[in-house]
Amino acid sequence: MKTISIIILSIVCAPWAFGATEPKSSAPSPPCCREGLPPGKYSEKSLYSLNALWTSDVGREVKLEVLRGRPQVIALFFTNCEHSCPLIVEDLKAIEKALPINVRDKVDFLLVSIDPERDTPEALRAFRAKHGLPTERWTFLRGSTEATRQLAGMVGFIYQPGSPTQYAHSLLISVMDESGVIVFQQVGLSRPPEDAVASLLQTLKTP
């Protein structure tokens, strides 16, 4: 497996999964709020095997498995990051832009906060707007400290407080297949998107 700083995670947010009813809106819903596949059985390597609840930037509580069924590019970050996180987002956007137009709508992007205390749904929405990230393909999630640590451990992402408002952390982007298993990772900043795109196309079985 190659190592990469970008992670794609497949998470599906089905309204029926938790007995909730989504308000009607003309605005596109994020991937975590699409009608997706029913819960399935997952391998120990699948991020969808995690049972924790996460809150999206639209206020929806979901499990990661709601993204099941589509490749996901995932990165862990925090909105108050003063250095690397905005650059990681730019790398994610570069991957999205480099995808062939005919498959771009088949890939989703996931950003998970490592600072759940400060990264409220409102803060996540503000970050989405600031960076111009489209609702229909990008999911933002925050969870408990324990859930975040579990996810980071499965992804191979290391982080720790560096100051009262900042974290020292890995520079990592991962690509997940439709079953939640990481198939590609990229480490570092400003990497060319070609390898991540190739792994996505292979996952989608697209030449």
Answer yes or no: pTM beyond 0.85.
no
User: Which helix (H) or strand (E) element contains residue 147?
Assistant: helix 145-155
Condensed to tens digits (0 to 9), the pLDDT of residues 1-43 reads: 444 444 433 333 333 333 334 444 456 778 887 766 666 788 8
Token couple for 70: 């589509």
Give residues with Cβ within 8 angstroms of 177, minimum separation 6: 10, 71, 183, 203
Q: What is the mean pLDDT of residues 190-196?
A: 96
Q: What is the mean pLDDT of residues 60-81?
A: 95
Condensed to tens digits (0 to 9), the pLDDT of residues 105-127 reads: 999 999 999 999 999 999 999 99
Give residues with Cβ within 8 angstroms of 135, minimum separation 6: 27, 28, 29, 30, 128
With cut-offs at 50, 70 and 90, classify the pLDDT of residue 163. confident
Minimum mean pLDDT range among 41-45, 68-72, 171-175? 41-45
User: Where do the domains of the chain lie, and which CATH numbers do they carry?
Assistant: 7-19+27-203 (3.40.30.10)
The pLDDT score that the predictor gives to residue 165 is 87
Residue 47 per-residue DSSP state? G
Cα–Cα distance, 40 to 97 (Å, whole number) = 31
With cut-offs at 50, 70 and 90, classify the pLDDT of residue 196. very high
The pLDDT score that the predictor gives to residue 193 is 97
What is the identity of the amino acid at 38? P
The pLDDT score that the predictor gives to residue 5 is 40
Condensed to tens digits (0 to 9), the pLDDT of residues 125-146 reads: 999 999 999 999 999 999 999 9
Burial class (CB in 10 A: 0-12, 13-18, 19+), 98: middle
The pLDDT score that the predictor gives to residue 207 is 67
**DSSP character string of 94-129:** HHHHHS-HHHHTT-EEEEEES-TTT--HHHHHHHHH
Q: What is the mean pLDDT of residues 157-184?
A: 95
**CB contact at 8 A, 109 and 138:** yes
Q: What is the mean pLDDT of residues 143-156?
A: 97
